Chain A
Amino acid sequence: MSPSVRRIVAPLVGIVTFGLLWQAAVRVFDIRRFVLLAPSEILSELAEAPGFYWSNALITGRHMLVGLSIAMAFALVVGALMASSRFIEEATQPVLILILVTPWVAYITSVVLWLDGGDPTILFMVAFTSFPVFTFGVVGGMKSADPAARELLASVDARPWEVFWRLRLPASLPSIFTTLRFALGLGLAAAYFSEGSALTRDGLGAIGRTAAASNQAETLWATITTAALLGITGLLAISLLERSLLRWHVSQRP
């Protein structure tokens, strides 16, 4: 099998095998529908109302994308400041760690009260939870810029923004892409959970929450599966973007 065919066939075999084992486990152990629904029933639910799940996936996808973009924008500014000053780095690190380790599900109710629910709450939660991860990735990447290259730029009196734009930012891209993969999962979870808590009726999380409250196992598991597909699509998009932007990097060479 050629490498290009294998790259497509192997994941498909893995997913189909996983689905078959799942289906068999539900039947053999007679697992309750709400605990774990058989894949065949989830697929049948999705096939019954594809437009409904698609339109809500778009809403959750938008929440995730906008929230992660806000987090990334702040992380680039804060990360650049941290990479350029040891004092700022040491002052900011404990705050980021505090945000990172505090269970966000515990304070989401306060955020809902503060921002009155809806999109602002969801976007805030996605951005706030993924911001520390992005920032650590940005700082690590920017600090890994070749010291000899930094000195070279200093020899012609490069301005700080020139060092950022010409050296630190491109040098941090590999690290940013690695971080983006983790942040995507975090952002998706925050978007799903926040939609369910933010007094909104749209988005996979809001539907999932309503379904859970009214014992609709098919709907609940269909939103979970759609959210997972959304995550996979996001990861694929990241991989494609990475391949086109990082052709020079060792990780993208054959």
Chain B
Amino acid sequence: MSPRIEVRNVAKSFGTLDALAPLDLAVAEGETVTLLGPSGCGKTTLLRMIAGLEEPSTGEIVVNGMSPTEARRHKQIGFVPQSPALLPWRTVEANARLLLDINRRATPATPSVSVDDLLDEVGLGEFREAYPHELSGGMQQRVGLIRAFAIDAPILLMDEPFAALDEMTRTDMRHLLGRLRERLGTTVLFVTHSIPEATFLSDRVAVMSPRPGRITEDTTIDLAHPRVPELEDTEAFFHITTRLRASLSSGMRR
């Protein structure tokens, strides 16, 4: 079966600045792959190119058998930006439905999961009519998550969605995302600085070097599914985080 996301020899320069060295990456159906690397290594640039929001300087990207631009047109990508980007004039429910209301031609007639179900699943059922300013940072990011899941896209691209949250909320959020992903089986490409986040959520972690970013190591995470919060207290989890930390350090030196 062909991968859901295929990045072939893709590089990116901004003027004379080389942001990404030529790299390859493939993400299979149902797989969660995390891009882990230092700030400025090009993780977000790579994600934006896959989302069709940025053109590669060289190389080719295929998303679900089509170009990123086509994939956007057919709503094949659920995008979760760094900030929740909620519209302050829309209620929680209206924000969760936002992407369903846009480009309706491509909205599935019967999504496999409803916004109501998703709101209940993430504990926001009682906050349907609330406005974003009435929510905590974690609750806002939960709305951002279900907004992406709601369009029933086969692929989710997540750009450090939990970076601005405190440690406890961040831990809760990765457990929540893990649960949603296990349930819906979406293919996920995730960007983060956090090693525990990468370990808990991923099937594979692609470690990147500083700019111009390249993938220095592609590590398979051998942890059983479903991933439960208790997993983070196990020796296996600890070993993987240690290994990833070492890979990240060695990538920094290259």
Q: Report A's interface with B, CB cutoff 8 A.
A: 146, 148-149, 151-159, 162, 166-167, 170, 173, 246-250, 253
Contacts and interface: CB of A to CB of B under 8 A. Distances in A.
Contacts of B73: 157
B87 interface: yes
Size bracket of the B interface: 20 to 34
B30 interface: no
Interface stretch (B75-83, B199-207, B219-227, B235-243): B75-83
A156 B83 contact: no
Given A148-B81, A148-B83, A162-B102, A155 B133 contact: no
A146 B85 CA distance: 7
B127 interface: no
Contacts of B98: 152, 166
A158 B99 CA distance: 9
Given A162-B102, A166-B102, A248-B133, A155 B85 contact: no
Contacts of B103: 156-159, 162
B208 interface: no
B96 interface: no
B87 A167 contact: yes
B81 A151 contact: yes
Contacts of B123: none
Contacts of B102: 153, 156, 158, 162, 166
Contacts of A148: 81-83, 85
Contacts of B131: 247-248
B205 to A, nearest CB: 24
Given A148-B82, A148-B83, A152-B81, A249 B106 contact: no
A148 B85 CA distance: 6
Nearest to A249: B88
Nearest to B76: A156
Given A148-B81, A155-B79, A246-B89, 13 more contacts: A146-B83, A146-B87, A148-B85, A152-B99, A154-B72, A156-B79, A156-B106, A158-B103, A159-B103, A166-B101, A167-B87, A170-B87, A248-B89
A169 to B, nearest CB: 10
A246 B81 CA distance: 26
Contacts of A155: 51-53, 72, 77, 79, 157
Interface in B58-106: 72-73, 75, 77, 79, 81-83, 85, 87-89, 98-99, 101-103, 106
Contacts of A157: 72-73, 75, 103, 106
Interface of B: 51-53, 72-73, 75, 77, 79, 81-83, 85, 87-89, 98-99, 101-103, 106, 131-133, 151, 157
Nearest to B102: A158
B72 A170 contact: no
Chain A CB within 10 A, most for which of B72, B89, B98: B89
A247 B73 CA distance: 34
Contacts of B52: 155
Chain B CB within 10 A, most for which of A148, A154, A247, A253: A148
A199 to B, nearest CB: 46
Nearest to B79: A155
A186 to B, nearest CB: 28
A225 B156 CA distance: 63
A201 B151 CA distance: 61
A128 B89 CA distance: 31
A170 B73 CA distance: 24
B194 to A, nearest CB: 20
Nearest to B100: A156
A92 B77 CA distance: 37
A175 to B, nearest CB: 14
A156 B99 contact: yes
Contacts of A149: 85, 87
A23 to B, nearest CB: 47
Contacts of A167: 87
Nearest to A173: B89
A158 B72 CA distance: 9
Contacts of A246: 89
19 contacts: A146-B87, A149-B85, A149-B87, A151-B81, A152-B81, A154-B53, A155-B53, A155-B72, A155-B77, A155-B79, A156-B103, A157-B106, A158-B103, A159-B103, A166-B101, A170-B87, A248-B131, A248-B133, A249-B89
A167 B85 CA distance: 11
Contacts of A154: 53, 72
Nearest to A253: B133
A166 B102 CA distance: 9
